[in-house]
Structure 1
Amino acid sequence: MKFHKNVVCAVALSALTLAGCSNSETDSQEKVDTAASAAAKFGTSTTESKSDSESESEAVSFEDAYVKSAKKEDGMTAVFGVLKNNTGAEVNIVSASVSVAASSYELHEVVDGVMRPKEGGFVIPAGGSLTLQPGAEHIMLMGLQEDVEAGEDYSVTLNLADGTEIVVDDVPSRSISSGNEDYSGAAH
């Protein structure tokens, strides 16, 4: 029975690993739902992020934020969630960093299936929001110098064009099946 369970888990994990990065929101959500249902089937729990920066005193809150778990050898990972502008004026996030040792942190977008740095940063209209997700805008950590373990919490720092720095603490890391970007041949 134990051997059978290990084989089933290995097959499920392999299938999720092969899923890769998609630029379709529906496809990405289906992959997350599939991973959640597979985890439930095999007795593994999944949790929603409770690390939201919901303070209205902050210009920007980061709701449902999470860092995709990764091994140092993977070389990169990303941060996803919903950035919400709590002000009456446009907000421009020009850079970000995460409490994970990495060579660089970049704001990225995916256009026509090609991932690239987001020129000008993330602009969020007054009272609006921007969803960071696999296959779209996201915060990229490149040159990982340590593992990003599922279940660990990290801090994300958002730097605004006006010089404001917003720190979002207790952002969990979780394992997801999408977002396995490949930089070979990508224009950077």
Structure 2
Amino acid sequence: MRISAVKITAAAAVASALVLSACGSDDSAADMTVTSVATETDTTTTTPSTTTSTSTSTSTTTEAAAEKLNSDNVQLKDAYFKAAVKDDGHTALFGVFENDTDQPLNIVGFTSTIDAGMNQLHEVVNGVMKEKEGGFVVEPGQDYELKPGADHMMVMKLNQDVKAGDTFDVTVEFADGQTVEYTNIPVREIASGAENYGDDSHADHAGHEGHEGHDHDKEAH
């Protein structure tokens, strides 16, 4: 009888060990499953973070490409207004724009401190003066000259005399919305032969006919 008891006890111990072993295996499998899920979660979390970083980098590059315009990198050289009296009805700005940036610049309008009713960008084609459609485009590293008988900035509907020795300021507007101010531009007398704006200039501007209906008319400020 003692021998039988010992055998039964031993068998019970073995059975118990097998049960514990089986439980241990289930726990390990559970742990592996949890680890696998955690790994997949970490991978999913990492992906949006990488995308955000790329977007920020692109935004920074775009901002860096947009150069701030000023009177140093867009110079206006040898600028002057033509002397005129109020009864003349108009005067004009001449000079040379110099683009020291690495991008083309589109001048689309301007204002000045001359007391006048209208400002326009003009060209003279075959002796006829008209508005310059699309404005003036100054290529990178290039000059753009404004001169009598060619492209110029016309100030119309004068409310004051513009006398030699006076100075005025001009604010130039670019297509991207930026503006650049040029100060103390002198007024000069020029020879009568050099003041030709085109064959129709005196007829058109005496009464300001043929210009006021244009979409690009600029009321002076």
> How many residues end up aligned between the 2 structures?
134
**Which whole-Å CA distance do the structure 2 matches of 1:119 and 1:157 have between them?**
19
**Which whole-Å CA distance do the structure 1 matches of 2:129 and 2:81 have between them?**
18
From 110, 113, 119, give the equivalent of 2:124: 110
Contact 2:112 2:169 in 1 (8 A): yes
The Cα of 1:187 is off from its aligned counterpart by 5.3
1:76–1:56: structure 2 CA closer, same or farther, 3 Å change rule? closer
Corresponding residue of 1:153 = 167
Contact 1:91 1:126 in 2 (8 A): yes
Structure number with higher strand proportion:
1
3-state SS, counterpart of residue 184 of structure 1:
helix
Give the unaligned 5+ runs of structure 1: 1-54
Corresponding residue of 2:89 = 75
Corresponding residue of 2:109 = 95
**Which whole-Å CA distance do the structure 2 matches of 1:98 and 1:121 have between them?**
17
3-state SS, counterpart of residue 129 of structure 2:
strand
Contact 1:56 1:86 in 2 (8 A): no
Give the unaligned 5+ runs of structure 2: 1-68, 212-221
The Cα of 1:77 is off from its aligned counterpart by 0.5
Corresponding residue of 2:62 = none
Which residue type is aligned with residue 101 of structure 1?
D
1:68–1:152: structure 2 CA closer, same or farther, 3 Å change rule? same
Q: How do 1:124-139 and structure 2 match up within 5 A?
A: 124-139=138-153
> Rg larger in 1 or in 2?
2
Q: How do 1:26-45 and structure 2 match up within 5 A?
A: none
Corresponding residue of 1:166 = 180
Superposed CA offset, 1:79-122 (max 9, x none): 00001111010000000111101110100000010000000010
Which residue type is aligned with residue 76 of structure 2?
F
> Is residue 2:195 matched to residue 1:179?
yes
Contact 2:71 2:180 in 1 (8 A): no
**Which whole-Å CA distance do the structure 2 matches of 1:59 and 1:162 have between them?**
16
The Cα of 1:180 is off from its aligned counterpart by 4.5
The Cα of 1:184 is off from its aligned counterpart by 2.1
Superposed CA offset, 1:37-93 (max 9, x none): xxxxxxxxxxxxxxxxxx986441100000101000000010000011110100000
1:112–1:86: structure 2 CA closer, same or farther, 3 Å change rule? same
**Which whole-Å CA distance do the structure 2 matches of 1:180 and 1:151 have between them?**
22
What is the TM-score when the length of structure 1 is the normalising length? 0.67
Corresponding residue of 1:44 = none
3-state SS, counterpart of residue 82 of structure 1:
strand
Which residue type is aligned with residue 109 of structure 2?
S
RMSD (CA atoms): 1.9
Q: Which has the higher contact order (CA 8 A, sep 6+)?
A: 1
Contact 1:85 1:127 in 2 (8 A): yes
Contact 1:149 1:173 in 2 (8 A): yes
**Which whole-Å CA distance do the structure 1 matches of 2:181 and 2:97 have between them?**
13
**Which whole-Å CA distance do the structure 2 matches of 1:168 and 1:68 have between them?**
16
